[in-house]
Copies of this chain bind each other. A is one copy, B any other.
Amino acid sequence: MAAERLVVIGGDAAGMSAASQARRLKGPDALEIVAFERGHFTSYSACGIPYWVGGDVEEREDLIARTPEEHRERDIDLRMRTEVTELDVAGQRVRALDRESGKTYWTGFDKLVIATGARPVRPALPGMDAAGVHGVQTLDDGQALLDSLDALRSGEGPRRAVVVGAGYIGVEMAEAMLKRGFEVTVLNRGEQPMATLDPDMGRLVHEALDGLGITTVNGAAVTKILTGRDGRVTEVVTEAGTYPADVVVLGIGVEPETALAREAGLPVGPHGGLLTDLAMRVVGHDNIWAGGDCVEVLDLVAGRTRHIALGTHANKHGQVIGSNIGGGYGTFPGVVGTAVSKVCDLEIARTGLREKDARAVGLRYVTATIESTQRAGYYPGAKPMTVKMIAELRTGRLLGVQIVGREGSAKRVDVAAVALTAGMTVEQMTALDLGYAPPFSPVWDPVLVAARKTVAAVRGAGN
């Protein structure tokens, strides 16, 4: 019997996890695996790029979980620098372009995994492609930025970095540039940094960034980037003013890379991501799976799909897809929207719905915000930790939690992530048996304190 052929488009987390898991379950006699990657790297941690740029991680190779050679040793026919340019769903084949040779060819598949990832949002503004303007989406991007910084090092005068965008990548890159010795200005289009938090919590981040020596400018949508005679960036012009820059880092988010799939007629959702079922099969296509940054995921709290580009989801997707293709069974039920980040010793976390998310899906809610410390107040290193909690009116069901604090604060959000998954009420949460010892928590864990205050808010709100 001829082996079935699995084709994988995209060689990062979702695609190669799927390939590896399928290979674990089915040997090369039963399943041929061909994987296409248009870049230079496979299976790397894009989330680690800010720490490599900042110098916490020394080598680019540290971010690579598995090299092309390692994949090939496991009987995966991995074709690097090869881009899939066309997908013929009915004909069960893809057309690939070998970027080295310029040649194209068709490859048939029995089963297909689409893991094309996301692409950075780059507004078409004047100067966006100037020298010294860098995205940080891929390892190639990171290398280009580091090369640019090395070139600057020989220059004179103050070194000024402008980071465009104040989300996770923006604030993480602000830390990285600070560590590289730059004066750092973060340009934020919105009302407060960290738009994944409510503005009241974003304000706390803003204040903490000030304290770290990072200037954040709100309402600063970029309109153009100015360059000098050498073609290199000199200033960033925004609606809020003009900011001198020796280097500009773009951290303005990503969108699903689904052009190929859309042209092939595959279904995409309101955020431009592919739509899948619980087994991660593309809706309406039994032999096509999709996962990672190119899909939309079900938000279990909001009851609708979202687009979240995050390595941990991509790995889970790959695992589920590979299991199903390999004859096993797995599902990805959805997300609750957990995210954690840090800027120096400031930690930021969120899960579930923000106030505006709740309103957008018709939920009425109450909120409560408390200040506590991550350790017992008397224990060395006790530092402030603010927790905001959102619960549904009447039922008291937990809807979301946001945390801003210092070392040891962010991962507390996992308690809320599990509670959201389990559909707990804030009243139930007040009884949770969370770990207590003075080096780890006050005798009332901050999450419990927040739950108690939210219970009072639910009761006080009546109907």
Is A434 in contact with chain B by the CB < 8 A criterion? yes
Is A295 in contact with chain B by the CB < 8 A criterion? no
Q: Mark A419-456, 1 if CB is under 8 A from B, else 0.
A: 10110100010111111111111011100000000000
Name the B residues within 8 Å of A417 (CB-CB): 415, 432-435
Q: Give complex CA distance A93, B342 in Å.
A: 57
- Of chain B, the residue at the smallest CB distance from A348 is B437
Is A97 in contact with chain B by the CB < 8 A criterion? no
Is A45 in contact with chain B by the CB < 8 A criterion? yes
Name the B residues within 8 Å of A424 (CB-CB): 418, 421-422
- Of chain B, the residue at the smallest CB distance from A172 is B437
- Stoichiometry, as copies per complex, reads 2
Other-chain residue from B313, B315, B437 in contact with A342 (beta carbon distance below 8 A): B437
Q: Chain B nearest CB: distance from A321 CB in Å?
A: 14
Is A263 in contact with chain B by the CB < 8 A criterion? no
Q: Chain B nearest CB: distance from A225 CB in Å?
A: 29
A418 in contact with B422 (CB, 8 Å): yes
A340 in contact with B440 (CB, 8 Å): yes
A436 in contact with B45 (CB, 8 Å): no
Within 8 A of B (CB), among A44-68: 45, 47-48, 51, 56-57, 62-63, 65
Name the B residues within 8 Å of A316 (CB-CB): 430-431
Is A255 in contact with chain B by the CB < 8 A criterion? no
Is A358 in contact with chain B by the CB < 8 A criterion? no
B445 in contact with A312 (CB, 8 Å): yes
- Of chain B, the residue at the smallest CB distance from A339 is B435
Q: Give complex CA distance A313, B336 in Å.
A: 29
A56 in contact with B380 (CB, 8 Å): yes
Is A335 in contact with chain B by the CB < 8 A criterion? yes
Name the B residues within 8 Å of A379 (CB-CB): 48, 51, 56-57
Is A13 in contact with chain B by the CB < 8 A criterion? yes
Name the B residues within 8 Å of A414 (CB-CB): 412, 414-415, 432, 434-435, 445
- Of chain B, the residue at the smallest CB distance from A316 is B431
Q: Give complex CA distance A419, B420 in Å.
A: 11
Is A338 in contact with chain B by the CB < 8 A criterion? yes
Name the B residues within 8 Å of A412 (CB-CB): 411, 414
Is A121 in contact with chain B by the CB < 8 A criterion? no
Is A3 in contact with chain B by the CB < 8 A criterion? no
B434 in contact with A312 (CB, 8 Å): yes
B413 in contact with A415 (CB, 8 Å): no
Name the B residues within 8 Å of A378 (CB-CB): 45, 48, 51, 57, 62-63
B315 in contact with A444 (CB, 8 Å): yes
Is A337 in contact with chain B by the CB < 8 A criterion? yes
Name the B residues within 8 Å of A443 (CB-CB): 13, 45, 47, 65, 311-312, 315
Is A289 in contact with chain B by the CB < 8 A criterion? no
Name the B residues within 8 Å of A439 (CB-CB): 51, 342
Within 8 A of B (CB), among A293-342: 310-313, 315-316, 331-333, 335-342
Q: Give complex CA distance A444, B336 in Å.
A: 16
Name the B residues within 8 Å of A433 (CB-CB): 313, 335-338, 351, 417, 421
A435 in contact with B340 (CB, 8 Å): yes
Q: Give complex CA distance A433, B415 in Å.
A: 10
Is A205 in contact with chain B by the CB < 8 A criterion? no
Within 8 A of B (CB), among A334-374: 335-342, 349, 351
**Residue among A335, A414, A417 with max Cβ neighbours from chain B (10 Å):** A414
Q: Chain B nearest CB: distance from A212 CB in Å?
A: 15
| Known A-B contacts A379-B56, A414-B414; A312 and B349 likewise in contact (beta carbons under 8 Å) | no
Name the B residues within 8 Å of A201 (CB-CB): none
Is A393 in contact with chain B by the CB < 8 A criterion? no
**Residue among A47, A424, A431 with max Cβ neighbours from chain B (10 Å):** A431
10 A-B interface contacts by CB (under 8 A): A45-B378, A48-B376, A51-B438, A312-B445, A340-B441, A351-B435, A408-B411, A410-B435, A411-B441, A417-B435
Which A-B residue pairs are the 10 nearest by beta carbons?
A: A422-B422, A340-B435, A312-B436, A418-B418, A62-B378, A338-B433, A335-B433, A336-B433, A311-B443, A414-B434
